[in-house]
Structure 1
Amino acid sequence: MGDKARVAADEILQRLRVDAVDLLLIHWPGASGVGATSPRNAELRLEAWRALEDLHQQGKARAIGVSNFEPHHLAQLLAYARVRPAVNQIEVHPRRPNAALRALCAAEGVAVVAYASLGCGQLLGEAAVRRVAAEVGRTPAQVLLRWGLQQGCAVIPKSIRAERIAEASPSKILEGWELSNAQVAALSGLDNNHKFCWNPEGIA
């Protein structure tokens, strides 16, 4: 796994035509072709992390981190990491605030980057989201991204449509407004621990 990570990183640098990237992540705590409950997953995570540490030391990655790591994955990593992860990129939205994992990350100095902030689009039509959007004069997408920011997360919306990119621009999300405590609570009340993306909880 370590050699594959090094090769993959070098390929990324070549494709981007750069000498270094700002952030390099282990995308998933499990390995392809390995059963979810196999202890081999933990061994391969260690190998992959050592490779990322080497790339960081070589200056090829200015920061390194992980994605989709649950509390037990993160605890294992922190026990052996020579370079601590800068980031854990995880699914966070009002249906799955992931509060316990976010609290662990905060306690360990690991930044949380939230993906699927809009619930893969499924949260845009939620009555509570639309009601708050009407109250603040913003779109449902802007409200959901602002909720994520007020949870202490970085948010990474993506789109190929110009109007949606403009809708999620920093000036539209960061400047001149915020959600009230009551509005944050109303959105957080949607929590039912539902994941819209793959679930890494069962990976050993």
Structure 2
Amino acid sequence: MVYQYILFYKPYYVLSQFSQGSTPSATAIALRTTLKDFVPVADIYPAGRLDCDSEGLMLLTNHGRVQHRLSDPRFAHPRTYWVQVERVPPAAALAQLRQGVTIKGYLTRPCQVELLNTTPLLPPRDPPIRSRQSIPTAWLEMTLQEGKNRQVRRMTAAVGHPTLRLVRVAIAHLKLGTLEPGQWRSATADERRGLLQL
């Protein structure tokens, strides 16, 4: 078997799967697209997920071992996100995120969090983020070793800074790079070697 490793920039409001499910509603068909609408490669599957309202890097592969390693929480690997939040978090909020916050009775693992000095160069989101002149926003770079459901959003909300936009820019050694929303490319030889070493 020839293994495929595809890096894909999932746009906002695209489902991280190749089908709508067995009984989609008419609204879901009208409003939501899937990976199949962007990546015309057969028999590949996502190695992990991104929420519908999140954007950024996904790995699609037909290599079961790599998919398992990247999806199973027992095999921790870094995932890096650029996160736009309401208001500028003070040092105490950043320290709390780094140490871990309690979400639904679960204490998140320590993570890396940095306040970005400049807005990252990202394509505009469609539809755009709601803007309120009276409430400033800030961008964080967060690197987590775990990926529980809606974890980043719940973490920032827990410290009083709700997430407005969430873009995954790296999975382990794989980087979003110059991909635009909806674009994909095959992994390079170096990237494939790194995946096989996970």
Relative to the length of structure 2, the TM-score reads: 0.28
Higher helix share: 1
Relative to the length of structure 1, the TM-score reads: 0.28
Higher strand share: 2
